[in-house]
Amino acid sequence: MDAYLDRFLNDLRDERGFSTNTIVAYQNDLNQFRNWLIAGELPSGLERIKSWKGLTEEHVAAYVSAMRDGGHYAPSSIARKIAALKSFCQYLEAEGVVDADPALSITAPKVERFAPRSMSRDEVERLLAGPVNRPDSNRPEAVRDRAMLAVMYSTGMRVSELVALDSLDVNPSLGLVRCKGRGGRERVVPLNPEACEALINYLDGPRKALDPKGSLALFLNHRGARLTRQGFWLILKNYASEAGIEGITPHTLRHSFARHAVENGADLKEVQRRLGHVSISTTQVYRQLAATPVGTSD
């Protein structure tokens, strides 16, 4: 049974480009299902199976009922586990292991989706102005911070993608940045004029002052090493506090970029591409968010 699980997880990584975190979640959920089939408390009359060839709709339905009746999982957790199970069962059918998808009729519980927190345009302006308005705005760290915040808001990239940028990944003269996304997927994203100017100012001298070792990394800490996600998070919190903005995270900048792009009339597929979303359904939340006054979705 493990062989097909391993092949399925490899397919998620190699063919479908799923992130490591998603694959680990799928692995945990499917291992739990397999363990239940082997040693769990099955309903009377339901036979145990020794291979996936014996998997039936009754097995899947009984497992989902056990999860729902056990009271150990939130609806969101059950929905995630069912999604992993349905995807694996589709794989088994496609590979000819089972004659029909045993999870076809299984439905996941409805999970209330919370609108992501986004900033108003005024809040974004105040945040981006933070490094410029400081008395030490000419320090290399302040120029770097201005560039980081401007690039993140201009592109909507994830903080992990931002800190992974190398100097060769950006071309402010052409207004482009190459971003390494999840699952090894790369995308080229345009930069707005503000981000281009901030990058040019940073690359022109301040970055060299932070780089005694000749690092490839674009954004460096005071020791000349690549800035970490935690380092960026601390920097963001300080500027947000100075600007009087509460409750934001690095992902809030990503949400704000997407919301404002949709409000400006950007095509949803283009927003999807820039964000690096695999599915357009993930991006559609910003269309709903754009129709909601700022502040009601926090």
Q: Tell me what pLDDT residue 298 has.
A: 37
Q: Could you tell me the pLDDT band of residue 73, with boundaries at 50, 70 and 90?
A: confident
- pLDDT band for 7, please (50, 70, 90 cuts): very high
The lowest-confidence range among 33-47, 67-81, 149-163, 173-187 is: 67-81
Domain boundaries, the chain: 2-94, 121-290
pLDDT confidence of residue 77: 85
How far is 17 from 33, CA to CA, in rounded Å? 23
Q: How far is CA 46 from CA 21, 55, 60, 75, 106, in A?
A: 34, 11, 11, 26, 18
List all residues 6 or more positions away from 214 whose beta carbon is below 8 Å from its beta carbon: none
Backbone region of residue 295 per phi and psi (left: phi > 0; alpha: psi in -120 to 50; beta: other values): left
Query: Taking 70 as the threshold, does the pLDDT of residue 112 lie above it?
Result: no
Task: Round the average pLDDT of the chain to a whole number and report it.
Answer: 90
Lowest-pLDDT range, 7-16, 87-96, 267-276? 7-16
On whether the 2-94 domain is CATH 2.60.40, my answer is: no
Other C-beta atoms closer than 10 Å to the C-beta of 146 total 26
Under the banding of pLDDT at 50, 70 and 90, the label for residue 296 is very low
Q: What is the pLDDT of residues 208-266, one digit of tens each?
A: 999 988 899 999 999 999 999 999 999 999 999 999 999 899 999 999 999 999 999 99
Strands across the sheet with 176-180, in order?
A: 170-171, 176-180, 186-190
Can you give the pLDDT at residue 68?
A: 85
CA gap 282, 130 in Å, rounded: 31
Spatial distance between the Cα atoms of 259 and 274, rounded to a whole number of angstroms: 13
% of the chain exceeding 70 in pLDDT: 95
3-state secondary structure of 246: coil
The pLDDT value recorded for residue 57 is 94
Tokens read off for 38: 């082997």
Question: Using an 8 Å Cβ cutoff, are 186 and 180 in contact?
Answer: yes
* Residue 97 and residue 4 in contact, taking contact as beta carbons nearer than 8 Å: yes
Q: Kindly tell me if the per-residue pLDDT of 42 is higher than 80.
A: yes
pTM: 0.65
| Assigned CATH class of 121-290 | mainly alpha
